Structure 1
Amino acid sequence: MRPLLFLLLLVGLQGALSALLPAQLTPPDLFLLTAVAVALRWRPGWALLGAYGLGLVQDALGHGLLGLHAAGAAGGVLLVLGLRKFLSDRGLLQTLVTVVTAVVGQWATFLVLTYWLRGGLVTQDALVQVLPVQLAFTLLVAPTWARLSGWAFGRQPSPEEGLV
């Protein structure tokens, strides 16, 4: 029941933040934080599928082109999974490195898709104006979101436990 309540909170809070914040302020990407929280608890294959699914839900709710955030969340989680064995179990430094890695992976995926599709999905203005604000807000809410994720999905296994 807790994961369902958490997902309802995720959808409601992400939608509320998107509606309430001024247009020049990008809300934190709670879907990406949730994908990372799930990735740190699941095996790598399932973690990538879960991240893609969460991103697809985000796209279906109207936050972008269908599949764009799905691929971005999977790209962010892929980088986090690569770093997972080098991170400690807990702490502010792990949270900072994990969130920055996930956001960099997400935006790198966006850039690859922009090049591949030859579209204007990610522009230079978006990289200069949107990315830093989104990263700052996502870093700001990450510790609280990690605690909520722990409540919803249970204890995060150590890096050694999660790789088996």
Structure 2
Amino acid sequence: MLIREAVTDDWPRIWPFWHRIVAAAETYTWDPDTDEQAARALWMSPAKRVYVAEDPAGTVAGSAYLTANYGGPAAHVANAGFMVDPARTGRGVGRALAEHVLAEAVRHGYRAMVFNAVVETNPAVRLWTSLGFTVLATVPEAFDHPRHGPVGLHVMHKSLP
């Protein structure tokens, strides 16, 4: 699997699964009705380093971004977002993207990474904990899950080497 920095022309290949994931309202706190223009601004912001994972056929199987979570004296703490095409889950795309983005965060001088709102029912919680993230706190019933009802949002953290 090739993981590379995204280019502008990648957005039309990211948008279909981005839209599907956000519209499902199960793992992201973004508005499920986010239109394509707003979605592009959220994901492909110039303040973010965006990556894509391509399978051997050149299909974009997932995408991630890396950005500072805070500014000023706390700008050394990273934040990231990850999406894997639901048609390609279970093939190691998420783990490969996560490992790549963590390495990139170190390369760019970040000393920690924090996720501000990980839905506690998100299967990716297992991935994050396997990669050394810990749950610092859970905001109870902060997320209205379409199948599970009110569930918590985890704040997760990992120190970087």
TM-score, structure 2 length as denominator? 0.32
Higher relative contact order at CA 8 Å, sep ≥6: structure 1 or structure 2? 1
TM-score, structure 1 length as denominator? 0.32
